[in-house]
Structure 1
Amino acid sequence: MAWDYPHPFTLPRVPQADDIDGLNHTNNAVYVRWCEQAGWAHSEALGLALADYRRLDRAMAIRRGEYDYLLPTFADDALVLATWLVAGDGKLSMQRRFQLVRERDGVTVLRGRWDLVCIEMSSGRPRRMPQEFLDTYMAVVVS
Structure 2
Amino acid sequence: MDSVLTNKNPIIYPKRTRRYRTDQSSTDEFSSTNRIRDIKDPEHPELSLEDLNVLTEESVEVDDHKSYVRITFTPTLPHCHLPTHIGLCILVKLVQSLPARFKVDVRVAPGSHDKETTVNKQLGDKERVTAALENPELVALLNKMMQVC
State whether TM-score is above 0.5: no
Higher fraction of helix: 2
Which protein is bigger by CA-based radius of gyration?
1
Higher fraction of strand: 1
Structure ranking higher on relative contact order (CA contacts 8 Å, 6+ apart): 1
